[in-house]
Amino acid sequence: MDFTDAGFVQAALAFLEANKEVFPDAYARAVRMCEGHGCYAGLDGNDTASLNRSLNMTELAFAMKGLLRGIAAVETQDK
């Protein structure tokens, strides 16, 4: 990857948001995953658990990668 885990997660969310009419369930699932992994924790500068946040972002980045690969596999089969 050419960016951080948090950057990848944001890029994945941006892609899914831009295509939420095509993939509404995947977009909703990604938003819930992000919320569950604390995507927004520490954005106010008061992140006291930075190691946990880092581990959560790494796990979430792998989950988002799997979600996007699943979409790609299904879309490739349909064509």
SS3 state of residue 66: helix
Q: What stretch of H or E contains 5?
A: helix 5-18
Residues 6+ apart with CB under 8 A from 70: none
The model's pLDDT over 11-32, given as tens digits with 9 standing for 90+, comes to: 999 999 999 999 999 999 999 9
Domains in the chain: how many in total?
1
CB 75 within 8 A of CB 67: no
Domain around 17: 5-77
pLDDT at 40 over 80: no
What span, in angstroms and rounded, lies between the C-alpha atoms of 53 and 38?
Answer: 7
CA angle 60, 65, 68 (to 5 degrees): 125
The answer to which of 7-11, 17-21, 52-56, 75-79 has the lowest mean pLDDT is 75-79
Residues 6+ apart with CB under 8 A from 29: 67
